[in-house]
A and B are shown apart, each in its own frame.
Chain A
Amino acid sequence: MLNVIIIIAAILILVILFAIFRVSSLVDVIKGDSSNKIPSSNGLQANLLLLFLIIGLIGGFYYSFGGLEEDFVLPVASKHGVITDNLFWWTMAITGIVFIVTQIFLFGFSWKYQHRENQVAYFYPHNNKLEMVWTIIPAIVLAALVFTGWKAWIDITRESPEGSEVIEIMGYQYAWSVRYPGADNVLGNYDYLKIDATNQMGIDFSDRASFDDFIPREIHVPKGKPVRFNIRARDVIHSVYQPHFRLQMNAVPGMPTQFWFEPTKTTEEMRVETGNPDFQYELVCNKICGQGHFAMRYIIVVDELEDYNEWFKSQEPWLKQNADYLTEVPEKLREVASITVGIENEVWSNVQKGLTNSSSK
């Protein structure tokens, strides 16, 4: 019943609006003077344009300079982020000025030169000097922006420094997997054909460097040390995005990518700075990857260097947690593998038994 009433009300409102429209257009017909081609509300439109300019500017300023509760600018927590933020705000200052000046001219002229009887427009088809000026000045300003941007860009995208922490991040529908190189500081090979329900990252155990690799549940990185992410994807394109670090790089299947940065604030420090005791650095997927795209959250913890080293040492190699995969290690390396990752003899012999059982079947 309520729906019917709503529909009837809506129809009535439309009918009333239509009636008002008809009446007003009939009034216009009676008033006549269709020969005048200047709209009757020309002045009103001009005033509205000016009003829009004024309210828009005031609103924009209020909005941009702390009129609202929320803070839109995330605190920056990486070394290169300071540089890109700097560029960002310089660009903001330049474009902000241009924006305000041009909009004032646009709406201001619209208001000032609104149609008046006896006013004649100024026949002004071109002025080469003026046009040169506003071609060259933007060119110079843009050249400065390009140059500073380019310098920052090559600095950010150059090879990661010697001794960076190397961490592998792999995106898949709809989560991230992270692998650390372990005690030998070398990430082992991977092969997508070796991926299965347990070995999610397709670690290749024919490579000795893989034995001590570990896969933690969250990413830890040290403060004040360059960290390099080796990034890949397993199914579709994902994108590793962390706004506080001003860090983003696509994860592309079949084409490993990388991004290196230097964290400057630990999670604890950020908790103090943001006043949020639960603050976490969150890793985000930023390339459409399917229905769970919006839910690929992964925690990054920034530790002081000592804490990080301690955490690093306390991690168990993946192979130790999944001793079954010793069977994928080439036979002559199995003993080495079980010793390096510290697999107990008992477990090892169980695995071997399993092996002989399955082969005898």
Chain B
Amino acid sequence: MSITDIQITEKLTHGDDHHDDHQEQSFIFKYIFSTDHKTIAKQFLITGIFWAILGGGLSVLFRLQLGFPDMDMGFLQPFLGDWISNSGKLDPEFYLAMITMHGTIMVFFVLTAGLSGTFSNYLIPLQLGARDMASGFMNLLSYWFFFLSSIIMFISMFLSTGPASGGWTIYPPLSALPQAMSGSGMGMTLWLVSMVFFIASTLLGGINYITTVINLRTEGMTFRRMPLTIWAFFITAVLGLLSFPVLVACVLLLVFDRSFGTSFYLSEIFIGGEALPNLGGSPILFQHLFWFLGHPEVYIVILPALGITSEVISTNSRKPIFGYTAMIGSILAIAFLSFIVWAHHMFITGMNPFLGSIFMFLTLIIAIPSAVKAFNYITTLWKGNLVFTPAMLFSIGLVSFFISGGLTGLFLGNAAIDINLHDTYFVVAHFHLVMGSAAFFGLLAGVYHWFPKMFGRMMDEKLGYIHFWLTFVGVYLVFFPLHYIGIAGFPRRYYSFTNFDAFSSFVDLNSFVTVAAFITFGAQFIFLFNFFYNIFKGKKAPINPWNSNTLEWTTPRVPEHGNWPGEIPKVYRWPYDYSKPGAKDDFIPQTIPYHKTEESNTDFENEEGKKERFDN
């Protein structure tokens, strides 16, 4: 405890010094090479939004191909050039490039960097009562590595041979051999380089989050008083720290195979009219290494969203989150289990069926903590006094998606059923709901909820509602039908289905999904307007617009570098004292000591209150 105290005082004085310098900082250091966690969070958010538009735009383009295969796409020629043939057809290889970039962008750049990067950075110091991250400089590096990685990935999209095209999972040999597809040439090289920088960024960020959570909690902020947001960010950072380095190893071996003639993943290959000398490698090894990251990665994506949802649902239900301890327990259980389920992505790769049995067993265990989370959310709503802010609606939407997509996971996690569903649209529907859309809704809920703190202004509620309803209904209309064509055996990553009798029906359904995708994508522009317009023109936000308990709402309307102008507030209670019987308001912020709330205290809390008086 004493160590923490010293650090806090150090930070305090340090922070205050900084505070004074602050006015003289030039634009570049204030807004571009800033070490302030709030500015870095906004940088992550805006970069994430840029990538989300691009990633979403790509999906709309390839939905066009799937929904209206006979369409003349000549009008896209000004943008896509030679990727559109003179007869107005999309190039099949570019189709694969688009799905690959869509996956890469969404999983890594939007839902990892855009979500964790934004909210871990923004909320960890604010909700813990810290002046800033443990290392502002590492935080700065974290963003700029991400920026560099973004630039490289962006450039790769303009190569004449196209960007990486072997799917976001980049399975070799397809991704290792430029002879196999043109995207596996320079495009793949840039993908790999970009990912290495991306991983460096994630690790720098993650180390910082973990250190900050462990060391810089304000006085009284014990682990058992931390908001669930912070618990989620903390465990997410641990997951990232343990799994991303494995991706580096995995990618590095692929680089060796591609450029230095090694045979880690290659064996007995005859391609482009010649037999390659590589012998003894195993493409399955790559998949093991990849999914050792890849599976924790989906939890890296979803856990922060669940953390945000916990906070938003509790605040707007005016009720404590149900089962706080169980929620922490399930986060820990999910985190642990996420490391030992990876091979359920590989049931039918030819992996030993015995391994398949083990991974099936472990996979279905992970459903239990996930189910507990869903039940706890629903119970939190029960007998609440629900306020439907846009953030609340997005959180409810998230829970709905999490359930829908989670349940289909029980099909895919079952090896025997997976035989027929693997790599079909059923899988596409499953993960787009449970991880894609759910995490995306968590991101949006977070933006709507913390926008007033980030920019000191309010977003427009009505536009928020329109945005929510179009997106929520749109997402279900896009992904629910995909389950059906998945059950019918439609393989994913197909440029066209007209070659097959079995798949040539359902044209109407595919067109329907495409139209729904367009509406959903279009609705995001309402959000963009709402977001950017209100940064400058929005109504000024009150200090605590949602009557929330957590510490960030005790800062000034627009917190400066250092977050609190005076002393850092102390914490006396957990963050979920909403509608406590006897209390005069329906919320008691964490900074209110027990001895001031005798009317609502339990016996135990009265004891604590006495101790507080004694301490003071």
Contacts and interface: CB of A to CB of B under 8 A. Distances in A.
B578 A121 contact: yes
A115 interface: yes
B173 A237 contact: yes
Contact of A106 (B318, B396, B422, B484): B396
Given A120-B385, A121-B385, A253 B283 contact: yes
A246 interface: yes
Interface string B298-333: 000000000000000000011111111110000000
B502 interface: yes
B180 A106 contact: no
B258 to A, nearest CB: 14
Contacts of B481: 63
B336 interface: no
Contacts of A284: 489, 491, 500, 502
Nearest to A296: B499
Chain A CB within 10 Å, residue with most, of B365, B399, B414: B414
Contacts of B372: 131, 134-135
A202 B279 CA distance: 16
Interface size class of A (residues with CB under 8 A): 35 or more
Nearest to B347: A153
A119 B269 CA distance: 71
Interface string A240-258: 0101101111101111110
Interface string A275-291: 01011101011111111
B423 A287 contact: yes
Contacts of B497: 294
Nearest to A43: B388
Nearest to B167: A288
Interface in A82-135: 83-84, 87-88, 91-92, 94-95, 98-99, 102-103, 105-107, 109-110, 113-116, 119-127, 130-131, 134-135
Nearest to A290: B181
B350 A252 contact: yes
A39 B545 contact: no
A89 to B, nearest CB: 10
Nearest to A49: B396
Interface stretch (A66-74, A219-227, A325-333): A66-74
A48 interface: yes
B543 interface: no
B460 A145 contact: no
Contact of B501 (A145, A153, A237, A282): A282
B491 A285 contact: yes
B324 A45 contact: no
Nearest to B275: A193
Contact of B416 (A39, A60, A87): A87
A192 interface: yes
A41 B374 contact: no
B85 interface: no
Interface string A44-87: 01101100100010001001000000101110000001011001
Interface in B229-251: none
B579 to A, nearest CB: 4
A347 interface: no
B585 to A, nearest CB: 11
Contacts of B384: 109, 113, 121-122
For chain B, the bracket of interface size reads 35 or more
A73 B487 contact: yes
Contacts of A253: 173, 266-269, 283
Contact of B579 (A121, A153, A239): A121
Interface of A: 21, 24-25, 29, 34, 37-39, 41-42, 45-46, 48-49, 52, 56, 60, 63, 70, 72-74, 81, 83-84, 87-88, 91-92, 94-95, 98-99, 102-103, 105-107, 109-110, 113-116, 119-127, 130-131, 134-135, 138-139, 142, 145-146, 149-150, 152-154, 156-158, 172-173, 192-193, 195, 197, 202, 231, 234-237, 239, 241, 243-244, 246-250, 252-257, 276, 278-280, 282, 284-295, 297
14 contacts: A52-B472, A74-B489, A88-B411, A110-B386, A120-B579, A124-B382, A139-B368, A153-B353, A153-B356, A236-B271, A250-B350, A253-B268, A290-B174, A297-B499
Q: Which 6 A-B pairs have the closest CB atoms?
A: A254-B267, A243-B489, A257-B350, A157-B353, A122-B383, A45-B388
Interface of B: 91-93, 96, 166-167, 171, 173-174, 177, 180-181, 266-271, 273, 275, 279-284, 317-326, 348-350, 353, 356-357, 360-361, 364-365, 367-368, 371-372, 374-379, 381-389, 393, 396, 399-400, 403-404, 407-408, 410-411, 414-417, 419-420, 422-424, 460-463, 465, 469, 472-473, 476, 480-481, 484-485, 487-489, 491, 493-497, 499-502, 505-506, 509, 539, 542, 545-547, 576, 578-581, 586
Given A39-B461, A288-B171, A294-B499, 18 more contacts: A41-B462, A60-B480, A72-B485, A88-B411, A102-B403, A122-B319, A125-B320, A145-B414, A150-B360, A150-B415, A150-B416, A197-B273, A247-B419, A250-B350, A254-B267, A282-B501, A288-B174, A291-B92
